[in-house]
Amino acid sequence: MSIKKGSFIISIDLELAWGVWDKLNSQSIQKIIEYERKICSNLIKIFDENEIPVTWAVVAALLDSKNKMITDQNQKAWYAPDILEKILNSKMKHLIASHSYNHKEFDKCSKEQIDQDFEKSIHFFKLININPDVFVFPRNQVFHLDILKKYKFKTYRSVDKSWYKKVYMFNKQLGKISNLIDKIIPIKTNSVKPSVDKFGLIEMPTSILLLSKNGVRSLATNYSMFKKIKDGIDLAINRNECFHIWFHPSNFYFKTEKQFDLLKKTIEYVNFKRQQGLIDIKLLNEFN
Ligand SMILES: [Zn+2]
């Protein structure tokens, strides 16, 4: 499959507490309640101002008012139809992709569990008149592709095509360290391209994650990150491929302003190239 012009994608995993359902404490719940909505509003505003359409991969349980995690104190961490409404009412026409019903890792689930997950997510997306055909796997565990096909999905996001991913397959901890080294030293970046798998599904890898800026991760400076992103955008243009950035709103919880600076700089650069007619900004369903 070929793309005629270079392209640029942003995909965002909207999951709130569901993304970390198995590692939560009261502090992290508080952080989600305090920050997630402000960050989403700011993202939506930046995308509107700069005319950037993005793909939001949404955990469907966020639309389920009776989901089993909700209590009186924490509702805002597990239920967020208000954020969806903001996205759908924004000036830019964004794409809603499915990020499963409740963010269970697919490699740890039976076919029956996966079937139930799809039934439920489709039901809750239908409540807001959405029928997603793009899927983003929880924790990027790409499994059960046959079931994806059965539920009529067309496209899925896969993993970063970077050297550190190979280390990650070998050892998770070493992989995490290598990911950080990869972001601290502005070495090679990757443009990506879609391919068709054996089920006829379109697989779209990612280029780079906007790492959180807490702890050792803050060693990945904006200088280094922006250099990687800029080189990656240039590479996508030269090769007629795609540069695909992904993140969660929670990647903006620490050093929020700095992270927004990096995003704005990225958008400014990509818009400069777009104005020259060199690159298109696309949604994840535009490679069918
Ligand atoms: Zn996720």
> What is the whole-number distance in angstroms between the Cα of residue 23 and the centre of ligand 1?
13
> How high is the pLDDT of residue 3?
52
Q: Domains of the chain, with CATH numbers?
A: 6-281 (3.20.20.370)
Q: Report the percentage of the chain scoring pLDDT > 70.
A: 88
Return the pLDDT at 180.
67
Ligand 1 center from residue 1 Cα (angstroms): 28
> What string of H, E and C letters represents the secondary structure of the chain?
CCCCCEEEEEEEEECHHHHHCCCCCHHHHHHHHHHHHHHHHHHHHHHHHHCCCCEEEECHHHHCCCCCCCCCCCHHHHCCHHHHHHHHCCCCCCEEEECCCCCCCHHHCCHHHHHHHHHHHHHHHHHCCCCCCEEECHHHCCCCHHHHHHCCCCEEEEEECCHHHHHHHHCHHHHHHHHHHHHHCCCCCCCECCEECCCCCEEEEECEECCCCCHHHHHCCHHHHHHHHHHHHHHHHHHCCEEEEEECHHHHCCCHHHHHHHHHHHHHHHHHHHHCCCEEECCCCCCC
Average pLDDT score, the chain: 91
User: Ligand 1 centre from 142 Cα, in Å?
Assistant: 12
- 137 Cα: distance to centroid of ligand 1 (angstroms): 7
CA of 209 to the centre of ligand 1 (A): 12
Q: How far is the CA of 99 from the centre of ligand 1 (A)?
A: 7
Distance between Cα 91 and ligand 1 center (Å): 25
Kind of pairing, strands 6-14 and 134-136?
unpaired
C-alpha 101 to ligand 1 mean position (Å): 11
Greater confidence (231 vs 1) lies with 231
Residues 42, 44, 47: CA angle, nearest 5 degrees: 110
pTM for this model (two decimals): 0.91
pLDDT digits (tens, 9 = 90+) for 5-15: 999 999 999 99
Q: CA 82 from chain center: how many Å?
A: 19
**182-203 residue pLDDT tens:** 666 656 678 999 999 999 999 9
160 CA distance to ligand 1 middle (Å) = 14
CA of 221 to the centre of ligand 1 (A): 24
How far is ligand 1, taken at its centre, from the CA of residue 77, in Å? 14
Ligand 1 center to 10 CA (angstroms): 15
Averaged pLDDT for residues 206-224: 81
Distance 15 CA to ligand 1 centre (A): 6
Residues contacting residue 240 through CB under 8 Å, at least 6 positions apart: 2, 3, 4, 5, 6
pLDDT of 118 reads 97
Ligand 1 centre distance from Cα of residue 170 (Å): 22
Q: Which protein residues have a CB closer than 5 Å to ligand 1 (ion)?
A: 13, 15, 19
Per-residue pLDDT of 222-276, as tens digits, reads 888 999 999 999 999 999 999 999 999 999 999 999 999 999 999 999 999 999 9
**Does position 27 have pLDDT exceeding 70, yes or no?**
yes
Distance 156 CA to ligand 1 centre (A): 13
Q: Which of the four pLDDT bands, split at 50, 70 and 90, describes residue 84?
A: very high
Residue 115 has pLDDT above 80, yes or no: yes
Alpha carbon of 74 to ligand 1 centroid (Å) = 19
Neighbours of 174 (CB within 10 A): 12
State residue 166's pLDDT score. 60
